[in-house]
A = this chain, B = another copy of it.
Amino acid sequence: MALELIKGNIAIAEAAMRAGLISYFGYPITPQTELLEHLSARMPELGRAFVQAESELGAINMVYGAACTGLRTMTSSSSPGVSLMQEGLSYISGTELPVVIVDVVRGGPGLGNIAPSQADYTQLVHGGGHGEYHLIVLAPASVQEAVDLTGMAFDIAEKYRMVVCLLLDGSLGQMMEPVELPEFKPVRTTPPAWAVGSPDSKERVVMTSINIDPPTQERFNVKMMTRWQEVEKNEVRYKGYYLEDAEYVVVGFGTAGRIALSAVRAAREQGLKIGLLRPISLSPFPTKAVDELADRVKGFLVVEMSNGQMLDDITSIVARRVPVEFYGRMGGMVPYPDEIASAINDLVQGEHDVDVDARGKWLAKMRELVGTGE
C-alpha cells in the first residue's frame, strides 16, 4: 500500500473508520479537533453516524448508548473534556461495554493551554472516576503506531468488553508522518447477542451498571477484577531499544519516549550503555519488564511530559533495588533530546542512592531552571 503523509489526529480517524467504526460522537477541543472534523466529513460519506454532541458529557453518554448495541463506537477529546467523561467512563466500565476513546492531552491543570502534555496519565491509568474499574490505556509514539493501535483498540475493547483509551499528547495529534493505512474491514452492523437490539438474543437484554444489592455488586467487581488479571496477562505491550547490554535504562512513553530515543542514541554514540524501555500499554503496565530490568541494571531514568505520574509506578516496581531518577517537563513543555541526554549523564555519573527522592531532586532543579513565577 502507498504511504500517505497524515496528521496523527486524522490518521486515527481514518484508522477507526477502517476498523469498522459505526458511530462517532465528539465535541471540539484543541488539539484534538481535526479528528472530529475529519469524521464530520467522512462518516456521512460512508453512511455511518457522526454527531457533534452538545458537550463531552453528551458525547460519552452517546457512546455509552451506542456501545449498548455492541457496534463499534468511539469518542475523542482532550484533557478537560476527558475529565468531564469520568462519570461516563465509570458507568460504561460498570456495564462491561467495548468503547474506544482518544485523549489528545494538553497542558494543565484547569484550562491550562493547548500545548502537548502527558499529565492525564493518572487520570486514565489509575482511574479518574468513582469505584473499582480499569481502563486499558495505549500510548502510541508515532503516527503509524497510532494507526495500528487504533485498529487493535477496537479488537481489544471487544475481546474484554472494556474501555480502551488511546493517550497521546498534542504534538502527536498535530504531527505528520508517512503512514500505511489498513484496508477497510468488513463492518458489523447487527448487534451481537449480548447487546440490545440484537436479532440473535433469546431473551430481552438489559444493560445497566446498577447492582443495588451489595453482594451482587461485589460479585460483579470480583468478576471484573478477574478479567483484569487476564488483561494483565495478555495485553502488555512495550518496545525495548538497546536493552540487551544496557547498564542504565530510560523509561518514557509516547512523544517523551521517542525524544528519549534520540538522547539514548546520542549516549550510545558516546559509548554509554543506555537502553530505552518505551511502554506502549500504560495500563496494563509492563511491570514484569521493569521488574526484570531492575534486577540487572544500575539505574533508571524516567522521562515524562508531566510531574512524574508514571514515575510513581516505576518507583513502586523497582522497589529500591536500584536508583530511579526523573526528568519531566510540565504544562505543555516538550523536552529536547539534549535535556534528556544531560539527565542521562547525571544518572550515569551521579551517586547511586536507592532511597533517592527522584521527584524532589528534579523539582529542585526545575525551580532553578524555570523558577516558580514568584
Contacts and interface: CB of A to CB of B under 8 A. Distances in A.
A250 to B, nearest CB: 21
A122 B313 CA distance: 14
A151 B123 CA distance: 29
Interface of A: 57, 79-80, 82-84, 86-87, 90-95, 105, 107-115, 117, 119-120, 122-123, 126-133, 208-223, 225-226, 229, 306-307, 309, 312, 315-316, 319-320, 329-333, 359-360, 363, 366-367, 370-374
30 contacts: A79-B130, A79-B131, A82-B130, A86-B123, A107-B211, A108-B130, A108-B131, A108-B133, A109-B209, A115-B214, A117-B131, A122-B126, A123-B128, A126-B126, A128-B129, A132-B306, A132-B309, A215-B333, A218-B366, A219-B331, A219-B370, A219-B371, A222-B367, A222-B370, A222-B372, A223-B373, A225-B307, A315-B316, A316-B316, A316-B319
A171 to B, nearest CB: 11
A374 B221 CA distance: 12
B209 A363 contact: no
B113 A132 contact: no
Given A79-B130, A130-B80, A315-B316, A111 B91 contact: yes
Contact of A86 (B128, B315, B363, B373): B128
Residue among A83, A120, A215, A359 having the largest count of chain B Cβ atoms under 10 Å? A83
B130 A83 contact: yes
A87 B229 CA distance: 30
A162 to B, nearest CB: 12
Given A128-B123, A131-B117, A223 B110 contact: no
Contact of A113 (B83, B105, B213): B213
A294 to B, nearest CB: 11
A193 B208 CA distance: 50
A220 B331 contact: yes
Contact of A132 (B128, B221, B307, B371): B307
Residue among A92, A217, A316 having the largest count of chain B Cβ atoms under 10 Å? A217
Contacts of A309: 132
A367 to B, nearest CB: 6
Contacts of A213: 113
Contacts of A329: 218
Contacts of A114: 212
Contact of A372 (B84, B226, B370): B226
A157 B221 CA distance: 35
B108 A94 contact: yes
Nearest to A369: B222
A291 to B, nearest CB: 9
Contacts of A226: 363, 367, 372
A110 B94 contact: yes
B108 A132 contact: yes
B215 A111 contact: no
Residue among A218, A309, A332 having the largest count of chain B Cβ atoms under 10 Å? A218
